Amino acid sequence: MNLLERIAFKLLRKQGWQLRELSDSWQDALISREVPDQHRFFRMLNTAMKEDVLHQKIHDHRIDLVIDVGANRGSFAQSLRRIGYTDDILSLEANPSVFQELESAANFDPAWHVEQIAIGQIKSKMKLYLTVDDSFASSHKPNECSLKVFGDISKVVSSVTVDVIPLNVAIERLERKCGKSYDRIMLKTDTQGMDREVVRSAGSVINRVQVLLTEMSIKPIYEQIPSFEEFYKECLDSGYELVHIIPVSWGRSFELIEIDCLFQRTVPEKS
């Protein structure tokens, strides 16, 4: 049984499904209850696979700082702790309605730093559109595709004005605060349409970013955001190679809407 199959069986058993293997493929297993919610199951499977891959890449690249842009309530940082990462984390979140929960989550972790800020190419202010489900909050309005696929949860209910700084400035602030420099950074960005701007705002610091995890849209769900092809090419042009793809959202027929793309620079030789 390979890694994917072991993860699948583990998750199914955790949910109370009784399995019996008929062949070497987990897809041939008998499930002794009604057909499960396939979408929910695949989300759980994707989460388990992402954590396993991140654990390996953080180890391979000897990461000393993880930057979490679009941190929401802090679930990504918590997953890093769960897989054994103990070094510094910088979580950046612009949405004031969730930042207090993020701050509380990091309160007892001295290596987990948080800041209420948005990331962009220049220091400025921007309008953030707040949605029914706060995970859809964005500086871009949701388009017709978003409303069709996700329904009311992606509808805009209000807006706030938030401060914006470049990513390199956020890193410089942290380095001054902690009194040290970070040379092997992992950048995770999930900003609902602003991810290309986040990467661009790193400036020359991008050369210190060894691992890049960014959300990309196969079908754009926000107005005026770059296409998958445009953003993907920019990542390659910045010196990265794609090593893993993790589905994030999909339609009723499992057509991909959004994916997480994991990029890396050349893996350093082990000393």
Shared domain check, 113 and 12: no
Shared domain check, 79 and 15: no
> Residue 3 domain-assigned?
yes
Q: With beta carbons less than 8 A apart as the criterion, state whether 195 and 234 touch.
A: no
C-alpha 215/C-alpha 245 separation (Å) is: 10
Residue showing tokens 């930042």 = 99
End-to-end alpha carbon distance in the chain? 33
Shared domain check, 186 and 54: yes
> Residue 269 domain-assigned?
no
Shared domain check, 119 and 60: yes
Q: Is the dihedral of CA 237, 263, 95, 128 positive or negative?
A: positive
Quote the pLDDT of residue 33. 35
Residues contacting 38, CB < 8 A, separation 6+? none
> Residue 98 domain-assigned?
yes
> Residue 271 domain-assigned?
no
Q: Which two tokens stand for residue 85?
A: 């990462």
CATH of the domain at 205: 3.40.50.150
- Give tens-digit pLDDT for 77-101: 999 999 999 999 999 999 999 999 9
Q: Tell me which residues of the chain have a pLDDT lower than 70.
A: 1-48, 267-271
Length of the chain in residues, anyone? 271
Shared domain check, 256 and 245: yes
> Residue 270 domain-assigned?
no
Domain count for the chain, please give it. 2
Structural domain of 5: 1-36
Q: Is the dihedral of CA 118, 121, 124, 125 positive or negative?
A: negative
C-alpha 94/C-alpha 101 separation (Å) is: 12
Shared domain check, 95 and 223: yes
Helix (H) or strand (E) holding 13: helix 3-14
> Residue 60 domain-assigned?
yes
Residue showing tokens 């997480």 = 260
What is the side-by-side strand order in the sheet with 124-131?
118-119, 156-165, 124-131
Q: Is the dihedral of CA 114, 115, 117, 121 positive or negative?
A: negative
DSSP conformation class of 190: -
Quote the pLDDT of residue 7. 57
Shared domain check, 109 and 16: no
Quote the pLDDT of residue 147. 87
Closest CA to 91 of 174, 207, 194, 166: 174
Q: With beta carbons less than 8 A apart as the criterion, state whether 265 and 227 touch.
A: no
Shared domain check, 64 and 21: no
C-alpha 31/C-alpha 232 separation (Å) is: 39
DSSP conformation class of 111: T
